[in-house]
Amino acid sequence: MDIFLQQLINGLTLGSVYAIVALGYTMVYGIIQLINFAHGEVVMVGAMVALSVISALTGAQIGLPPVVIVLAGIACAIPACMAIGYGMERIAYRPLRKAPRLAPLITAIGISIILQHVALLVFSRNPLSFPQIMPNPVFEIAGAHISAVQIAIIGGSVVVMAGLTFLVYRTRLGIAMRATSENVQVAGLMGVNIDRVISSTFVIGAALAAIAGVMIGTYYGIAHYTMGAMLGLKAFSAAVLGGIGNLAGAMLGGVLLGVVEAMGAGYIGEFTDLCQAPWIAGLMTERCADGGNFVLFGSNYQDVFAFLVLIAVLIFRPSGLLGERVSDRA
Amino acid sequence: MALLEVRDLEVGYGGIAAVRGIGFEVAQGELVALIGANGAGKTTTLKALAGMLVASGGSVHFDGKSITRTPSHQLIRQGVALVPEGRGVFTRLTVEENLAMGAYIRDDRAGVRTDLERMFGLFPRLKERRAQVAGTLSGGEQQMLAIGRALMSRPRLLLLDEPSMGLAPLMVQKIFEVIQGVSKEGVTILLVEQNARLALEVASRGYVMESGEISLADSSAALLASPQVRQAYLGE
């Protein structure tokens, strides 16, 4: 099996999900310069709601075709997340709009904790297995494997990103959103209801998060009330990598981060295998004999790479790959 | 009754009064200038009229209705458009998208398209650059865009804040020709300017603002002839 191609496929899958979550971070930041740290939790809620609906419909045994059940799960997750996105802006962030920037940031962390614990109470403290009700055939291309779920995730995210691009660049709401992100006061002079545009931004980002939640739940096969935290941080890193506030940047950053992470996980074992270093292998002949290995860091260090990338970006290119402005506010 | 009636308007920034109980009016179809030195309160007055600042006292009536506390996004629906100081074009939007933002409140697509072509007729430079992002335009072109954008809402009252600021003399002349043209088409205009001579040459009447109060009000001809104005604002 070709490790490179295989990890590329895995990375693109994961990166597609990061990209969709990163869009939520970057859109909100673009409009109100807030890093909505609770965004990852919205992804988790999306996964949880979809899981509950899918489990319930499957358990009811009313003979619905699996595709319909999955779509029903998504169809419930999206409005549930939209409601949470709307609610958190309305209740937590709007009253703080004129407050110092630290206040909404800390509030975001608070919302994140609240959502996690509400999910713990409503769902479970244990990881829930995502019902696999559809066959997931695996295809082989050039020695690497790609599953139907992976194809669906990559394809679905392309559709979602194309749809969002259309919305932002071709519709009245989208132009108003871009105008607002550049100059709130003048957008108001044009007749734009700023509150409504900000609400829409949160709601759209939350809808994307719901879709990402279903994707990641289906991909890993589990959902847990803490799953949003790490995913959210990585997607935030992806948004910073691409240039926070920049839509294309979030997409690029997400996909790149997914690939970097998969490549890192795929090769770290090989690169930190002490038996590959002749002078150490000489000291540990017993262990290294017959193709044995002594791996310092295994693929369980996968999570490290996203943050290495984040640190590198912050040091060498704080405005991100596609960001024009040097980020003086983040 | 005048189209715009301002009575005892007071506006402050955190307790400091920038506008101290001024009153003036602009009749339907008039072009009125509000002149004064830097810091006299002209921009603050306009911002209060446009709903960007909340008045701490007094009243503003437009077409007989109070707009004293109307937020700016509702004001434009009543027909009041402001071209802000420093132009305020959306630099990351294209010229055409900027003009579309001006027509944000309008639903008549055909009418908007007609007006877009009208703006391009009025400002041929903008037509050449319609697909460019506005940040790449020169200062003068941005000012044209800002005025065009405001006109796209089909305002009944146009508030202009320092349209000559930072522009080359030739461009200033061009902008003022446009302002006169717009005025001739029947749009009522309140023009705030530091360039007093220019403003009074196109306006029929003028008000002079000084430290947050109106110190003089007269016809443009009279103001241009007044020794006080000549000395303080025309540099003679």
Please state, in angstroms and rounded to a whole number, the distance separating the CA atoms of residues A7 and A137.
Answer: 18
Domains and CATH numbers, chain A: 3-259 (1.10.3470)
Mean pLDDT of A87-100: 95
Please state, in angstroms and rounded to a whole number, the distance separating the CA atoms of residues B41 and B156.
Answer: 24
Mean pLDDT of B168-188: 94
- Tally of domains within chain B: 1
The size of the A-B interface in CB pairs under 8 A is 65
Q: Chain B partners of A193 at a C-beta cutoff of 8 Å?
A: 73
Burial B98-136 (b: 16+ CB within 10 A, else e): bbbbbbbbbeeeeebeebbeebbebbeebeebeeebbee
Q: What are phi and psi of A322, to 5 degrees?
A: -110, 0
Q: Do A185 and B52 touch (CB under 8 A)?
A: yes
Contact (CB, 8 A) for A109 and A37: yes
Q: Is B12 helix (H, G, I), strand (E, B) or coil?
A: strand
For residue B217, what are the domain limits?
Answer: 4-85+156-233
The percent of residues above 90 in pLDDT, for chain A, comes to 77
Assess A198–B contact: CB distance below 8 Å, yes or no. no
Confidence at residue A300, expressed as pLDDT on a 0 to 100 scale: 79
Domain membership of residue B110 (yes or no) is no
Element (H, E) at B13: strand B4-13
- Name the pLDDT band for A325 (thresholds 50, 70, 90): low
Q: Is 90 exceeded by the pLDDT of residue A104?
A: yes
**Average pLDDT score, chain A:** 91
Domain membership of residue B125 (yes or no) is no
| Lowest model confidence (mean pLDDT) among A16-20, A75-79, A261-265 | A261-265
Confidence at residue A270, expressed as pLDDT on a 0 to 100 scale: 79
Confidence at residue B158, expressed as pLDDT on a 0 to 100 scale: 97
Quote the minimal CA–CA distance from B190 to chain A in Å: 16
Confidence at residue A326, expressed as pLDDT on a 0 to 100 scale: 46
Domain membership of residue B74 (yes or no) is yes
Confidence at residue A180, expressed as pLDDT on a 0 to 100 scale: 95
Interface of B with A in 146-165 (CB under 8 A): 149, 153
Please state, in angstroms and rounded to a whole number, the distance separating the CA atoms of residues B19 and B146.
Answer: 26
Confidence at residue A301, expressed as pLDDT on a 0 to 100 scale: 83
Assess A175–B contact: CB distance below 8 Å, yes or no. yes
Quote the minimal CA–CA distance from A322 to chain B in Å: 14
Contact (CB, 8 A) for B171 and B143: yes
- Name the pLDDT band for A328 (thresholds 50, 70, 90): very low
- Name the pLDDT band for A277 (thresholds 50, 70, 90): confident
Helical spans, DSSP H, in B152-219? 169-184, 196-202
Please state, in angstroms and rounded to a whole number, the distance separating the CA atoms of residues A15 and A253.
Answer: 8
Q: With left for phi above 0 and alpha for psi between -120 and 50, is residue B66 left, alpha or beta?
A: beta
The percent of residues above 70 in pLDDT, for chain B, comes to 100
- pLDDT higher at B165 or A269: B165
Please state, in angstroms and rounded to a whole number, the distance separating the CA atoms of residues A309 and B1.
Answer: 66
Closest to A182 (Cβ–Cβ): which among B84, B92, B104? B92
Six-digit token string for A305: 């790479």
Q: Do B101 and A179 touch (CB under 8 A)?
A: yes
Closest to B93 (Cβ–Cβ): which among A175, A189, A192? A175
> For residue B31, which amino acid is it?
L
Q: Do A179 and B90 touch (CB under 8 A)?
A: yes
Contact (CB, 8 A) for A235 and A261: no
Quote the minimal CA–CA distance from A30 to chain B in Å: 13
Domain membership of residue B201 (yes or no) is yes
Q: Is B44 helix (H, G, I), strand (E, B) or coil?
A: helix
Assess A179–B contact: CB distance below 8 Å, yes or no. yes
Mean pLDDT of A194-206: 97
Please state, in angstroms and rounded to a whole number, the distance separating the CA atoms of residues A316 and A241.
Answer: 11
- Name the pLDDT band for A1 (thresholds 50, 70, 90): low
Mean pLDDT of A40-66: 92
Confidence at residue B144, expressed as pLDDT on a 0 to 100 scale: 94
Domain membership of residue B134 (yes or no) is no
Six-digit token string for B229: 């104005």
Mean pLDDT of B155-167: 95
Domain membership of residue B122 (yes or no) is no
Q: Is 80 exceeded by the pLDDT of residue A329?
A: no
Strands in A148-227 per DSSP E: 222-223
Q: Is 70 exceeded by the pLDDT of residue A196?
A: yes
Could you tell me the CATH number of the domain that includes residue B203?
3.40.50.300
End-to-end CA distance of chain B: give it in Å, rounded: 37
> For residue B234, which amino acid is it?
L
Q: What are phi and psi of A8, to 5 degrees?
A: -65, -45
Domain membership of residue B114 (yes or no) is no
Q: What are phi and psi of B235, to 5 degrees?
A: 65, 40
Mean pLDDT of A260-276: 85
Q: Which residues fall within 8 angstroms of residue B142, CB to CB, at 6 or more apart?
A: B87, B89, B134
The CA-atom distances, in angstroms, between A283 and each of A208, A269, A272, B229 are 53, 20, 16, 96
> For residue A310, which amino acid is it?
L
Domain membership of residue B146 (yes or no) is no
Q: Is 80 exceeded by the pLDDT of residue A151?
A: yes
ipTM score: 0.92
Q: Is 90 exceeded by the pLDDT of residue A288?
A: no
